[in-house]
Amino acid sequence: DSGVTQTPKHLITATGQRVTLRCSPRSGDLSVYWYQQSLDQGLQFLIQYYNGEERAKGNILERFSAQQFPDLHSELNLSSLELGDSALYFCASSGPGQGAEGTQYFGPGTRLTVL
């Protein structure tokens, strides 16, 4: 158990819909990262938040957005869903450094299926 929690574990929805994925980092970790993992693209970095502020952006679509709340949990919002958005979405957290330095601890992931 990494100490990072993600909900829900599975999510099935239809095209055009909007969903919210939730992540709680390890106690004391200030950075939260979101990744998308699909079979053909591997682990794609989406976005990083540090202590409530956006720190780094990767290959995140405009239909996707995220935020980190004062209690440090984070939410990833996916809208106007397409079939190609079906993937495993991981959240990871790391220690007090602001950059993507040090170990990243991954949550169990949310499997999103878009029908």
Partner 1 sequence: GQQVMQIPQYQHVQEGEDFTTYCNSSTTLSNIQWYKQRPGGHPVFLIQLVKSGEVKKQKRLTFQFGEAKKNSSLHITATQTTDVGTYFCAGRGTALIFGKGTTLSVSS
Piece of the chain touching partner 1 by CB under 8 A; list 20-28, 67-75, 77-85, 99-107: 99-107
Q: How many CB atoms lie within 10 A of CB 88?
A: 15
The candidate with the shortest Cα–Cα distance to 104, out of 44, 25, 51, is: 25
Scan residues 52-81 and list those touching partner 1 (CB under 8 A): 56, 58
Give the residue, chosen from 21, 107, 112, 114, that forms a contact with partner 1 under the rule CB under 8 A.
107
DSSP 8-state assignment for residue 98: S
97 binds partner 1 (CB under 8 A): no
The candidate with the shortest Cα–Cα distance to 108, out of 91, 95, 86, 94, is: 91
Q: State the minimum distance, in angstroms, from the CB of residue 78 to partner 1.
A: 19
Give the residue, chosen from 10, 42, 70, 71, that forms a contact with partner 1 under the rule CB under 8 A.
42
> Which spans of this chain sit near partner 1 (rule: CB under 8 A)?
2, 33, 35, 41-45, 48, 56, 58, 90, 92, 99-109
